[in-house]
A and B are shown apart, each in its own frame.
Chain A
Amino acid sequence: MSHGDTIPLHSSAQSDIDEIENLINAAPVLPARPPSPPRASIPISSTPFVPSNIPPPSYAKPAPPAPPPVAPVLPPISSAGATGARMPGISGDGFGSPPNTLTEPVWDTVKRDLSRIVSNLKLVVFPNPYREDPGKALRDWDLWGPFFFIVFLGLTLSWSASVKKSEVFAVAFAVLAAGAIILTLNVLLLGGHIIFFQSLSLLGYCLFPLDVGALICLLKNNVILKIIVVSITLAWSSWAAYPFMSAAVGPRRKALALYPVFLMYISVGFLIIAID
């Protein structure tokens, strides 16, 4: 009678409990992070409770963060920052979590941004031809450097000009800024893979040699010297911009992407030579 048909109550209850436990263990699924988005959109990936160690790049828009003149102003803030960091509830190192960029003292932020500017400058202006992936240059872009270089170039040109100084400055600034944006759009429209702000940042940093050239031309007014200096600095700028731009587009479109860059730098060079 009790061979196989009747199952003892004891083991059926046990198997039911096992089933329910499996369900419970499978149920709480952590909320999924939004998948990394296609290139065109701007994804929102947030880390509220997990402090991030990644140094935050500067910002979203064409403009700069912290220049050295801010340094004397900031020490009074740093004490406010430090006291703010000790407010109750803000995660501190004492709780075992890694340092939060939300609560770091202000001086750390300044130092981090400054060191980023310097490292970006070194990366771009002294390019290493044997670098393994030129497209990785300026991964953590910032726009302070380009801002300073464009303004400096505008100021130098404006200083050298004997008439219409303000127009020279405005034209130089607008041409360089708009030129950088249009060049970036050009690469994007050619189907290249670059990030908008990374490219703006790169084109701005590559103006550094031309800045040096413009400064030298300001100091010495000899035409032959100007031509030589501008040619050298122009070649340097183009050499700095070339690897990044060419890595971004496919091989058949390299010339289409690079030609406008050279054109812009050559026209800036002419502007430096011709101004008087």
Chain B
Amino acid sequence: MERIQPPVENYANPKTCFFHVLFKAAALAFYILSALFFNSFVIIFVVTVLLAALDFWVVKNVSGRILVGLRWWNEINEQGESVWKFECLDQESLARMNKKDSWLFWWTLYITAVAWIFLGIFSLIRFQADYLLVVGVCLSLSVANIVGFTKCRKDAKKQFQQFAAQTIATRFSSTLQSAFSVV
């Protein structure tokens, strides 16, 4: 167990973690095992894509907020332009987030994307274009979440740096001001 070194505390939000993993695992498992039970491509497609879509929503709207305190979305502003918005908790709360939760969050995101890539390669090898469609949709959903949350995290770091710099600047100027007012 030492090679991966997960953090020591317990999960702070076990139910959220469970649901975060549930839909991903269900989509992958259904896709892999369904070939044994169902003959119909339609059912496989609809159920897998539905589970992947549910997982996308859960990660984006629920577990992203609760496990790592990040959120991203797209808006169209008054001028009709598309704007990507990122939101995060303030720095103290972020530092207080449970490390195990966020470890689980990020690792399951990456592992799912890698798993879908492998399944895509398999279906390419077997020349099954319709299964490639399923894998393509699920993969694009996973990648969208990864990209969105990574951008959000980078943006949060940038904001913290700017905030810190601004705080230093205001403190410095107020010190100067108080120094001069004494004179």
Q: What residues make up the interface of A, taking CB atoms closer than 8 Å to B?
A: 17, 20-21, 24, 27-28, 30-31, 36-37, 39, 42-49, 51-52, 54, 56-67, 70, 73, 76-77, 79-81, 83-84, 87-91, 101-103, 106, 109, 113, 135, 139-141, 147, 151, 154-155, 158, 165-167, 169-170, 173-174, 193, 195-198
Contact = CB atoms under 8 A, between A and B. Distances in A.
Given A109-B62, A169-B41, A91 B82 contact: no
Nearest to A32: B162
B13 interface: yes
B87 A46 contact: yes
Contacts of A63: 49, 52-53, 56, 137, 140-141, 144
Nearest to A20: B180
A195 B57 contact: no
Interface string B141-183: 1011001100100011001101101100110010011001001
A69 B52 CA distance: 14
29 contacts: A21-B180, A24-B173, A39-B81, A46-B87, A47-B87, A48-B88, A52-B85, A58-B60, A60-B72, A60-B148, A62-B137, A63-B49, A76-B15, A77-B15, A77-B19, A80-B14, A80-B66, A81-B16, A81-B65, A84-B13, A89-B89, A89-B96, A109-B62, A140-B75, A155-B46, A165-B40, A170-B133, A174-B133, A196-B82
Given A36-B81, A63-B52, A165-B40, A28 B173 contact: yes
Contacts of A88: 93, 96
B56 A24 contact: no
Given A56-B73, A61-B144, A90 B83 contact: no
A43 B177 contact: no
Contacts of A59: 56-57, 60, 73-74, 144, 148
A21 B159 contact: no
Contacts of B24: none
A91 B140 CA distance: 33
Contact of A56 (B40, B71, B80, B165): B71
Nearest to B98: A87
Interface residues of B, number: 71
Nearest to B73: A56
A158 to B, nearest CB: 6
Contact of A77 (B62, B74, B90): B62
A179 B144 CA distance: 21
Contacts of A20: 176, 180
Given A89-B89, A113-B61, A169-B42, 10 more contacts: A27-B169, A36-B81, A36-B83, A48-B87, A58-B73, A80-B13, A109-B61, A151-B49, A165-B40, A193-B80
Contacts of A141: 76
B162 A101 contact: no
